[in-house]
Copies of this chain bind each other. A is one copy, B any other.
């Protein structure tokens, strides 16, 4: 299902700022902050307000169309999200981030932690950090 349908079917409108933001995030290679998205839109001649960026990101994230990733230093950025549960691996040199899937690989760990801690586990967040193929060549 594409993001336009997801928005409509949830009762939200396909507004200009939302379109611009989805376009930018779709093409982005690295996670972007709200301000970065705003600046990029401006540079492309698309006039949108920073407030709308904040609001749209909140909405899009809640719908699972966009997701928040964390740099190793704790700073945050937004990326486009594909359907289903994914994780990200981020290059520590160029920041380029890509998705990977693999919830199954965590099953064992989750079961063990549930037994050891008594917690029930309902969700998880995993991110890998490393060096992307391109930056490996340059080093």
Contact = CB atoms under 8 A, between A and B. Distances in A.
Nearest to A129: B123
Residue of A68, A76, A100, A125 with most partner-chain B CB within 10 A: A125
Size bin of chain A's contact surface = 35 or more
A129 B120 contact: no
B128 A110 contact: yes
Copies in the complex: 2
A15 to B, nearest CB: 23
Interface of A: 68, 70, 72, 74, 76, 89, 91-92, 98, 100, 102, 105-106, 108-110, 112-114, 116-133, 136
Contact of A133 (B74, B119, B130): B119
